[in-house]
Structure 1
Amino acid sequence: MVALIRYQLAAVVHGQRYVAPLLFFGIVLTVFTVNDGGLLTNTYVVSASTLLISMCWLTVTIVNHEDPVRRSIQSVTAGGAGRVLAAEMLLALLSGVVLLGFGLAFPILLGQHRWGGADLAAGALAQLNCAVTGIAIGVVCSRLVVPRPGWSLLLALVVVIAVPLIPGLPPVNPVLTMMSGTRPAAEMLPTLTVHLAVSILVAAGCVALTRHVASRHD
């Protein structure tokens, strides 16, 4: 599996389509967090919501980087289409963890905040929640489920915008709403953990659905 992830990483890097979602993440983070003050948890709302969009975009890029013919050849070589999809999802998750690290550190280094361990933990949970949800949206909006690029892009835009904006819709909107308030970070941690568990379950269901639909297309 490690070799397969390395192959996927090399292929995505060679294609350079990853640049756009990474630039989006960096630009938005810079614009909205440099010289920012106030509660650090409020600033992490920007990091988390930006990571949601970036990970959706990056996941679609990772899954769609090879055409169907080359993907079929890779599936045979790797021992099955399921292994290829698993490697892509692990690569997306690893990418999300790297971006999460930047999202945690950037506001602290370039902003003006008082912070502690609870603030970092809350920010990490919120961003991981959004990263996992973004991966879930991205995989069901990929070519494996929606073969037409135009419809795939439209579906991804609608879902990734609706998920954080619909009031009370778990797991993203309640997290961003709570992080936007003034509650101490330590009090948020249990609720954030529950919502992260929900996002993991949603992502697992989306990956399973994608695998099922892709197998029927094959």
Structure 2
Amino acid sequence: MTALLRYQTGLLLRSQRWLAPMLLYAAVLGVGVTMGEPVLGALGVTAAALLPVTAWSVRICLTHEPPAARSVVAAAAGRGRAHLAALLTGTGLSALVGVVAVLVVTAFSDRRGVTALAASTTGLLAALACALTGAAVGALASRPFVPAPGWSLAALVLGSLLALVTTGSPAKHAVTALITGARTLTATPPWLACAAAVVLAAAVAFCACRASARLE
């Protein structure tokens, strides 16, 4: 698996397709987060914006490999393992960027009434919940479930929106906890939402890898 992750990471970085979702994330934060605003509200924007960015990154990793190279990798390591490596690469890149964003936003926002440790912990858990939920959306909106590029993009946008507004979504629960905390000046780490996002992402990854091995 280590070799597959290195291969997928190198492929992603050389393709430079990661620039588009990362620039989108930077633009959203630049517009939606103001230096000196209450930290929990700023972290809510930071976490919410990470969901569609992760979904997009995962879709890129699942579709950027040439068919011939995909067949060679699948023959050597198995389609399920190759699919999982692509999922982990897209998720890991976005999660890493999200961690950096949370720490920067925490450092430059107004932390009155909230300690830096409490704010960063809450923000990191919310960002992880949103990243994992976004990874699930990206996996469901890509091959082998939605192989057509046009329908895949439409499913990605719609799925990201629903994941942010649907009751019961781990991402919505995590972002709501931050928004509520910004009003009450209380940092409540969304442990339950994060755990639910882990279960959701693991279940979707398992189904996607199984489907890839059978359908492709």
TM-score normalised by length of structure 1: 0.90
Cross-structure match for 1:177: 176
Question: For the residues of structure 1 that align with 2:176 and 2:95, how far apart are their CA atoms?
Answer: 22
| Deviation string, structure 1 residues 83-142 (Cα, Å, up to 9, x no partner) | 212222222232133112222123234444444211110000000000011111101111
Q: Runs of 4 or more off by more than 3 Å in structure 1?
A: 108-115, 183-186
Shift of 1:53: 0.8
Deviates more, 1:52-61 or 1:1-10: 1-10
Contact map agreement 1:56 1:136 (CA 8 A) in 2: yes
1:180 maps to amino acid:
I
Aligned residue number for residue 121 of structure 1: 121
CA distance in 2, matches of 1:116, 1:124: 12
Map of 1:1-218 to 2, 5 A cutoff? 1-38=1-38, 40-77=39-76, 79-114=77-112, 115-166=115-166, 168-181=167-180, 182-186=183-187, 188-189=188-189, 192-218=190-216
What is the aligned-residue identity percentage? 27
Unaligned runs of 5+ in 1: none
**What is the CA distance between 1:215 and its match in structure 2?**
2.5
Structure 1 distance, partners of 2:110, 2:148, is 45
Contact 2:57 2:94 in 1 (8 A): no
CA distance in 2, matches of 1:54, 1:152: 15
TM-score normalised by length of structure 2 = 0.91
What amino acid sits opposite 2:49 in the alignment?
Answer: T
Count of matched residue positions in the alignment of Structure 1 and Structure 2: 212
TM-superposed deviation, 1:184: 4.8
Unaligned runs of 5+ in 2: none
For residues 2 and 102 of structure 2, what CA distance do their matches in structure 1 show? Answer: 27
Query: Does the aligned pair in 2 maintain the 1:141–1:153 contact within 8 Å?
Result: yes
Root mean square deviation of aligned Cα = 1.7
Matching residue's letter, 1:209: C
- Label 1:62 to 1:185 Cα distance change in 2 as closer, same or farther (>3 A): farther
Residue pair 2:61, 2:90 contacting (<8 A) in 1 also? yes
